[in-house]
Amino acid sequence: MKKKFIILFLILIFPLKVFALIEVDITRGNLNPLPLAVSPLAIDEQSRNEFKKIIKKENIGSEISSIVENNLKTSGLFNPLNKDAFLQAPEIANLKPRFEDWSLIKAQALITGKVTFIDEKLRVEFRLWDVLAAKEIMALAFTTVPNNWRRVGHIISDKVYERLTGEKGYFDTRIIYVAEEGPKTQRKKRLAIMDQDGANNKFLTLGNELVLTPRFNPTSQMVTYLSYFKNLPRVYLLDIETGTQEVVGDFPGMTFAPRFSPDGKKIIMSFAKDGKSDIYTMDLENRIVDRITNHPSIDTSPSYSPNGKFIAFNSDRSGYQQIYIMKSDGSDVKRISFGNGIYGTPVWSPRGDLIAFTKLHKGKFYIGVMRTDGKGERLLTENYYQEAPSWSPNGRVLIFYRETKTNSDGEGFSAKLWSIDLTGYNERLVTTLTDASDPSWSSLLSN
């Protein structure tokens, strides 16, 4: 009995840790772009000739892979490797990649694929490989009309982006903006639309009237914008597919800063009268107008939260223009910006966690983000003049416009679209045919 007790005692006091698994906590990593290889999509000779006739491109496989490569590169999260370093031919790589060859050039992921011409249609299959794990992690195929080849590239980019980052992509999207031409005092402004990478640019209005602040409907291909009618700014609705447009409501004063509700059923905007402006909503089905704010100050730039329960707007009710949030019925108004300077154009992120804004401080304009309680303000970019941020559908990138200073002769003025991601490091010029302002990012087209 005594012996048993001793043994039991020894077992209890003997350090059990000897048998425990050693644990090491890894709480840091690198945020460098992921090196990946985008192999040109393989194509047989017959398909190549057919596509050459239809879309006038020498090798559609290479063209599609270039779109994918460009998209992933501009995201700032991936580092597509130089094709000259590839050791395996596209046809063979698509069947069975030699992972040793790809890991030799430091690729961690590999995209391969094949393009074929079947029944007058374009069929694209692609595969995503984890080079280090030596396995396929995604394989998809799309069939569409040949003229849609650019969209196929964007959809592949979105799928790869989502698989490797864990969030949805933003490449199969469009941007609507105001195309500007002519001298600063006599600007011709037209509504224009293009793919997010600047391709397929189209002008939607003729430029006879001034247009401003176009905004996409989050659920369909409708746009609301502001245009002058009899020298009064009015909010309009435009169906991009049919080209039809209409005035939203018949207000006796000015209406401006329109934006859709997250379900696309309402428009929220400002209505100015007698030196003050308030926020109103209009139901697009029954055209019923609701007043949301009623304050003797200037309340404008309303933006819904993604769940539709809150509205962010800017107001000068505290003396300076600041950002406020309130419930969607106008109650519980709460100021959230308290930094130095003037805050404006708040836009709620599609993820719901951040609010983007324009800030003017000491003569400089900033594009920044803050949390919805106003904390964690981060200024992403600073310039002479820039404003109107608009979120990518995944809430990772902002597009905005930036104007340059004119010289003493009034020359040198330009307005360009720029994008910046939430890190603040990946700032890029978005190529447009003409000068551009007031961009608005659509939701994913392939949803």
**Site residues (CB under 8 A) for another protein?**
15, 17-18, 20-32, 34, 77, 108, 130, 132-133, 137, 161, 163-167, 353, 394, 396, 423
Q: How far apart are CA 304 and CA 336, in angstroms?
A: 15
Residue type, position 322, single letter: Q
User: Whose Cβ is closer to another protein: residue 15's or residue 243's?
Assistant: 15
- Report the nearest approach of another protein to the CB of residue 185 (Å): 44
- Report the nearest approach of another protein to the CB of residue 173 (Å): 16
- Report the nearest approach of another protein to the CB of residue 228 (Å): 41
Residue type, position 191, single letter: L
Q: What are phi and psi of 27, to 5 degrees?
A: -110, 0
H/E run at residue 72: helix 60-74
User: Whose Cβ is closer to another protein: residue 17's or residue 53's?
Assistant: 17
- Report the nearest approach of another protein to the CB of residue 372 (Å): 13
User: Whose Cβ is closer to another protein: residue 181's or residue 353's?
Assistant: 353
435-441 and 174-181 strand pairing: antiparallel
Measured over the CA atoms of residue 209, residue 213, residue 217 and residue 221, the dihedral's sign is positive
Q: How far apart are CA 88 and CA 342, in angstroms?
A: 56
Q: How far apart are CA 436 and CA 234, in angstroms?
A: 21
User: Whose Cβ is closer to another protein: residue 86's or residue 170's?
Assistant: 170
- Report the nearest approach of another protein to the CB of residue 84 (Å): 23
- Report the nearest approach of another protein to the CB of residue 102 (Å): 13
User: Whose Cβ is closer to another protein: residue 99's or residue 177's?
Assistant: 99
- Report the nearest approach of another protein to the CB of residue 87 (Å): 19
- Report the nearest approach of another protein to the CB of residue 91 (Å): 27
User: Whose Cβ is closer to another protein: residue 330's or residue 395's?
Assistant: 395
Cβ atoms of 88 and 102 closer than 8 Å: yes
Q: Given strand 364-371, what is the order of strands in its sheet? A: 342-348, 354-361, 364-371, 378-383
Supply 269's token pair. 């905007």
User: Whose Cβ is closer to another protein: residue 75's or residue 300's?
Assistant: 75
Supply 73's token pair. 């590169």
- Report the nearest approach of another protein to the CB of residue 107 (Å): 11
By CB atoms closer than 10 A (0-12, 13-18, 19+), residue 133 is exposed
User: Whose Cβ is closer to another protein: residue 264's or residue 352's?
Assistant: 352
Q: How far is CA 177 from CA 207, 302, 406, 439, in A?
A: 13, 19, 22, 4
Q: How far apart are CA 221 and CA 336, in angstroms?
A: 32
H/E run at residue 93: helix 90-95
Neighbours of 146 (CB within 10 A): 17
Q: Given the structure tokens 């989502």, which residue do they identify?
A: 162
- Report the nearest approach of another protein to the CB of residue 149 (Å): 27
Q: How far apart are CA 407 and CA 63, in angstroms?
A: 41
User: Whose Cβ is closer to another protein: residue 29's or residue 275's?
Assistant: 29
Q: How far apart are CA 302 and CA 270, in angstroms?
A: 8
Query: Which of 21, 66, 18 shows the shortest CA–CA distance to 39?
Result: 66
Q: How far apart are CA 189 and CA 234, in angstroms?
A: 16
Cβ atoms of 44 and 116 closer than 8 Å: yes
- Report the nearest approach of another protein to the CB of residue 423 (Å): 8
- Cα(first)–Cα(last) distance of the chain, in Å? 74
User: Whose Cβ is closer to another protein: residue 139's or residue 199's?
Assistant: 139
User: Whose Cβ is closer to another protein: residue 34's or residue 342's?
Assistant: 34
